[in-house]
Amino acid sequence: MLPSLPSNLVVVIYILIFNYSFCFFMQTSVLPYLVKELGLDAVGYAYIQTLFNIIQFLGTPIYGRFGDIYGAKKALLLAFVSTILTYFFLAITDSVHFIVISRLCAMFMSTMQGCQMVLADVSDAKSRAGALGKLSAFYTLGLIMGSLSAGYLITLFSTQFTAWIATLGSISVIPLILYFIPTSVKSDNAHLTSAKNTSLFDLSPWRHVLSIPGVIPIFMICLLSGVPGMIWSSLLPIFSIDLFELEPHQYGWLMTYLAVIRFIILTFGVSYFTSRFLEFNIILGSVLLKLVSYLLIGIYPSLIWYCLISIPLSMADALFGAVSTTMLTNIVPESSTGLALGLNYIGIGFVGMITPIVGGYLYSYLGYCLFACSVALLEVIALAYISSLGYSSTTTYES
């Protein structure tokens, strides 16, 4: 269980996710400006984002099964090698072709999934929400520092110099994985169960996970509520440039502001809410809060107004993400946590394949205000589905 683990393992996991997030959001800040320098518009940027999500869609379930079979060390090494290659090709790019290659290299860039798998395997059902919430908090801290640093590095140096820093930063944590992360963190029985069939492409474990009661509804909840959030986030860099007229360092401050809100909720709010409310009710309330927030955001395109309404929106997103992941890992066996997380990311990846393009066209034809209302309408669909499930409480898998 988490409290009895050697503290160095937990610390290293948090360092890894901070490093990954720091470097990821450096390159995320680079991408829209680099794309613009190469002459692409909002739709072109949306296609690049869609390609990234297609690759993630294909890679995450394989990565999850890989982690279950071969263990934490190899899974995290694979994730960081994929990450390093992605940033490297972005750093040397002088054409759209190199950006495309960098997106292709991101197939196994799944460090968050790998770290979630480790913490899910070493924590019990009661402490899991807090552990995963703190993991997301360190991810958010990396978002804060990465976005802020990227803004100044792009301004003072260049977009590609910033991508080089992200590449070297990712390389720097490889020794930590090699030295501190054990081969596997699963219990002996769970590890043996995972290794019974070492084929990454055997479908029987996939069918078993999907047959567990409660798994499909959780996948559907994440899918339906993920659509509006991903549509919005995919266009936020464009809003920042076109509507809010932000320079790179100012965009970094905006991302920092949003991340601080999320960090506070993940650090203090997840444990508070999960200890007082049913997880199902937290999910329902989060979706309702997101619905109202998008409607309010659409009133008019003001940066100050957006920053104000982002407080409840970020709160809802943070709670929804931590609690939905906890619900999923609580109801699957330890031998399949990686695969379950991978299957969940399939839904996220599928949504990501279409949302940037859909968002790009909606924004181009409807404008900002109607675009925000359309996103809110999609949350209505998610809210209706969750309400149709009725009262529910999570259960823990028992072998």
pLDDT digit string, tens, across residues 104-153: 999 999 898 888 888 877 777 666 777 777 888 888 888 888 877 887 88
Residue 123 corresponds to which tokens in the numbers above?
């924590």
Is residue 226 a contact partner of residue 286, using CB atoms and an 8 Å limit?
Answer: no
Q: Identify the DSSP state of 39.
A: T
Closest CA to 319 of 269, 275, 268, 381: 269
Give the architecture-level CATH label for domain 2-184+211-389.
Up-down Bundle (1.20)
Spatial CA neighbour of 113 closest among 44, 201, 16, 206: 16
Query: Is the separation of the CB atoms in 124 and 397 below 8 Å?
Result: no
**Residue pair 348/116 in contact by the 8 Å Cβ criterion:** no
Contacts 24+ apart (CB under 8 A), 275-278: 278/392, 278/393
CA of residue 83 relative to chain centroid, distance: 14
Please report the pLDDT score of residue 393 as a whole number. 43
Calculate ∠ Cα 241-358-290, nearest 5°.
75
Give the tens place of pLDDT for each residue, 250-259: 777 787 788 7
344 neighbors 57 (Cβ within 8 angstroms): no
Q: How far apart are CA 194 and CA 340, in angstroms?
A: 12
Residue-wise pLDDT for 245-279, tens only, equals 777 677 777 877 887 888 888 877 777 887 788 88
The pLDDT of residue 200: 63
pLDDT band at 397 (very low <50, low <70, confident <90, very high): very low
Range with the largest mean pLDDT of 168-172, 209-213, 229-233, 379-383: 168-172
- Rounded Cα gap, residues 273 and 296, in angstroms: 24
H-run or E-run covering 157: none
Is the pLDDT assigned to residue 308 strictly greater than 80?
yes
Cβ burial of 130 (10 Å; 0-12, 13-18, 19+) is buried
For residue 133, the Cα-to-chain-centroid distance in whole angstroms is 13
More confident residue, 242 or 88: 88
Report the C-alpha gap between 50 and 237 in whole angstroms.
15
Helices (H), the chain: 7-37, 42-70, 72-91, 96-104, 111-122, 125-156, 159-171, 174-180, 188-195, 204-211, 215-242, 248-264, 270-274, 279-297, 303-330, 337-389
Question: What burial letters (b/e) apply to 227-238, b meaning 16+ CB within 10 Å?
Answer: bbbbbbbbbbbb
At 2, is the pLDDT very low, low, confident or very high (cuts 50, 70, 90)?
A: very low
Percent of the chain surpassing pLDDT 90: 13
More confident residue, 205 or 212: 212
Q: What are phi and psi of 214, to 5 degrees?
A: 100, -20
Half-sphere exposure of residue 341: CA atoms within 13 angstroms, side-chain side: 29
pLDDT for 392 equals 47
Neighbours of 207 (CB within 10 A): 9
Please give the residue that has the higher pLDDT: either 24 or 256.
24
Give the distance between the most distant pair of CA atoms in the chain. 57
CA distances 84 to 57, 111, 170, 311, Å, are: 19, 12, 6, 33
Q: Mean pLDDT: which of 230-244, 314-328, 337-351 is highest?
A: 314-328
Contacts of 331 (CB under 8 A, 6+ apart): 212, 213, 214, 215, 218, 394, 395, 396, 397
The pLDDT tens digits of the residues spanning 374-395 come to 888 888 998 888 888 765 444 4
Over residues 82-103, mean pLDDT: 89
Nearest-10 crossing angle of helices 204-211, 42-70: 100
Q: How far apart are alpha carbons 277 and 107 in whole angstroms?
A: 37
Closest CA to 166 of 183, 147, 182, 186: 147
Of the pLDDT bands very low, low, confident and very high (cuts 50, 70, 90), residue 321 is confident
The overall average pLDDT reported for the chain is 80
pLDDT of the residue at 292: 92
pLDDT score of 191? 46
